[in-house]
């Protein structure tokens, strides 16, 4: 089977985009010749997040980027920065984000932030209890217990894995689903009445709404941090599951006068949570066709990778963003699903660093100490990305602009390359089989020679 190489991406989010080489990357390259002033030597970001550090909340500050990005980035700050005042940390991080984000991206992020601000100051929520996390009223008891026990066994007790990499479990209370459906309906009514422009959740869905846009961002952050990350740490560690730190939360709507089906694609996420909220419907099955790296995204599926899942309200499906999937037509009724694309900043930092990676081949002067320093920082930052990025998005390294050290690091991590890609694993097995067969025939040949 061949797939169209589509990647479902949000049209614009307050968060940073994943390190996707987008169509406009050629334009970006030409914009990226500006030499940036890099932080000084002792202000380098860490290679890995400091997991023991509890970041501050930036919710109450007026910032150009999502407060959750600041909280996430704080874990990457150099040790000397951790003790300073929150304002100073915010300023430092803001400078990094502003300098290393391409100008177009920066404007987009800024515009989206204003859009969100406008909604939040005008929209009157229907059910305020949805806007802060109340685990006992949101989740079913079995799910709560598994999460609080927090062991692989406790997760396995409630989760089934009907196909490799696809995990399903009972999650949401019927009452929570009802309230959320009513809230979404209320929001859409308000949008229509106020003649407000609604931003759709991604490039593929024509209906639905971004929950983060009307105030649910904090609650969904909590959902990711306290409930999805523990599961992802166990089941998706190799794609950054243990460092999930930002999200894109939305609902999609299928049925009459809504989207009918959804084409074959991969998500712009490390890990995707998909929960059916209701209502009455038939059809709309999710079809899965195996996880693939960028290089193999259009390869065929093995029979064991072909899996169809029928949605049940309240029941969640958890899978890697790179697990290829689509949705069959919802043939009657109305189906609404909650989606949470969970991401790891470790990968997102790539887009910030794209600037720096390009530096050595822009108007670059190695005799200039700033350039040399920037180059150095690019090196360090990129190495930290290789671990996460190389596994999930090797195409990001297509360019001749990549400094030598990246190739060196790539080689080092290549042995782990895409352990989760079905096609990489198949190729590896095939190579092993061939080499065993060759050795065997060589041995037989020698044996024949010696007995002749």
Contact residues for Fe ion (CB under 5 A)?
A: 8, 267
Residue with Cβ nearer Zn ion (151 or 414): 414
Our CB check for Fe ion shows the closer of 45 and 262 to be 262
User: What mask of x and - would describe binding to Zn ion in positions 112 to 151, judged by CB under 5 A?
Assistant: ----------------------------------------
**Number of helical H runs and strand E runs in the chain:** 15, 13
Residues 419-443, buried b or exposed e (16+ Cβ, 10 A)? Answer: ebbbbbeeeeeeeeeeeeeeeeeee
**Candidate ranges 86-94, 293-301, 368-376, 381-389; the one touching Zn ion (CB under 5 A):** 293-301
| Interaction partner, residue 409 (Zn ion, Fe ion, none; CB < 5-8 Å by kind) | none
- Smallest distance from Zn ion to CB 295, Å: 5
CA atoms within a 13 Å half-sphere pointing along the CA-CB vector of 213: 26
Name the burial class of residue 321, with classes exposed (0-12), middle (13-18) and buried (19+) by CB atoms within 10 angstroms of its CB. Answer: buried
Residues 294-333 that bind Zn ion (CB under 5 A): 296
Q: How far is it, in rounded angstroms, from Cα 400 to Cα 304?
A: 38
Q: Is 73 exposed, middle or buried (0-12, 13-18, 19+ CB in 10 A)?
A: buried
Given 101, 147, 396, 421, the residue binding Zn ion (CB under 5 A):
421
Question: What is the dihedral sign for C-alpha 418, 171, 337, 329?
Answer: positive
Binding track, positions 372-411, relative to Zn ion; x by CB under 5 A: ----------------------------------------
Instruction: Choose the one of Zn ion, Fe ion, none that binds residue 418, judging by a C-beta under 5 to 8 angstroms depending on kind.
Output: Zn ion
Integer Cα distance of 220 and 58 in angstroms: 16
How many residues line the site for Zn ion (CB under 5 A)?
6
203 vs 432 by CB, closer to Fe ion: 203
CA pair distance 121, 114, nearest whole angstrom: 11
Consecutive H or E run containing 356: helix 345-358
> 296 vs 324, which CB is nearer to Zn ion?
296
The residue (of 15 and 423) whose beta carbon lies closer to Zn ion is 423
* Binding positions for Zn ion, 202-261, rule CB under 5 A: none
Q: Which of residues 100 and 390 has its CB atom nearest to Zn ion in the complex?
A: 390
Q: How far is the CB of 202 from Fe ion (least distance, A)?
A: 8
Site for Zn ion (CB under 5 A): which residue of 93, 181, 293, 347?
A: 293
Name the residue number minimizing CB distance to Fe ion: 267
423 binds Zn ion (CB under 5 A): yes
Compute the least distance from the CB of residue 384 to Zn ion, in Å: 23
DSSP 3-state of 384: helix
- Indicate the residue among 7 and 28 with the shorter CB distance to Fe ion: 7
What residue 423 binds from Fe ion, Zn ion, none (CB within 5 to 8 A, per partner kind)?
A: Zn ion
Whether the CB-CB separation of 252 and 339 falls below 8 Å is answered with yes
Q: Which is nearer to Fe ion, 8 or 348 (CB)?
A: 8
How far apart CA 328 and CA 312 sit, in angstroms, is: 15
Contact positions toward Zn ion, by CB under 5 A? 293, 296, 418, 421, 423-424
């Amino acid at each position: 089977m061949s797939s169209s190489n589509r990647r479902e991406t949000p049209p614009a989010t307050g968060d940073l985009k994943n390190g996707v080489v987008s169509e406009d990357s050629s334009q970006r390259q030409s914009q990226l010749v500006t030499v940036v002033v890099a932080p000084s030597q002792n202000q380098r970001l860490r290679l890995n997040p400091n997991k023991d550090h509890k970041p501050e909340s930036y919710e109450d500050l007026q910032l150009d980027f999502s407060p959750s990005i600041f909280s996430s980035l704080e874990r990457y700050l150099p040790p000397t920065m951790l003790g300073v005042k929150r304002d100073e940390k915010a300023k430092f991080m803001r400078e990094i984000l502003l300098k290393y984000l391409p100008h177009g991206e920066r404007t987009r992020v800024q515009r989206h932030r204003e859009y969100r601000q406008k909604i939040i100051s005008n929209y009157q929520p229907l059910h305020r209890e949805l806007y802060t996390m109340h685990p006992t009223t949101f989740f079913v008891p079995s799910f709560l217990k598994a999460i609080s026990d927090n062991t692989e066994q406790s997760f396995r007790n409630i989760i089934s894995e009907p196909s490799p990499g696809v995990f399903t479990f009972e999650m949401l209370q019927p009452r929570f689903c009802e309230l959320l459906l009513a809230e979404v309906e209320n929001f859409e009514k308000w949008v229509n009445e106020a003649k407000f422009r609604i931003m759709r959740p991604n490039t593929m869905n024509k209906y639905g709404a971004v929950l983060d846009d009307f105030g649910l961002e904090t609650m969904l952050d909590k959902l990711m941090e306290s409930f999805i990350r523990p599961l992802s740490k166990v089941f998706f560690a190799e794609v950054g599951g243990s460092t999930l730190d930002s999200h894109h939360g939305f609902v999609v709507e299928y049925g009459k006068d809504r989207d009918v089906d959804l084409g074959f694609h991969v998500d712009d996420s490390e890990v995707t949570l998909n929960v059916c909220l209701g209502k009455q419907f038939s059809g709309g099955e999710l079809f899965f066709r195996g996880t693939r790296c960028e290089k193999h995204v259009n390869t065929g599926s093995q029979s064991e990778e072909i899996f169809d899942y029928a949605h049940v309200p309240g029941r969640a499906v958890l899978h890697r963003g790179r697990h290829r999937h689509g949705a069959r037509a919802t043939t009657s009724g109305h189906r609404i699903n909650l989606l949470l694309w969970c991401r790891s900043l470790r990968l997102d930092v790539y887009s910030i660093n794209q600037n720096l990676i390009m530096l050595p081949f822009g108007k670059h002067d190695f005799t200039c100490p700033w350039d040399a320093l920037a180059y150095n920082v690019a090196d360090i930052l990129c190495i930290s990305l290789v671990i996460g990025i190389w596994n999930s998005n090797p195409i990001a390294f297509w360019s001749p602009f990549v400094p030598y050290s990246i190739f060196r690091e790539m080689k080092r991590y290549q042995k782990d390359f895409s352990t989760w890609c079905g096609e990489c694993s198949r190729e590896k097995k095939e190579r092993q089989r061939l080499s065993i067969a060759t050795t065997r025939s060589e041995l037989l040949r020698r044996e024949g020679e010696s007995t002749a």
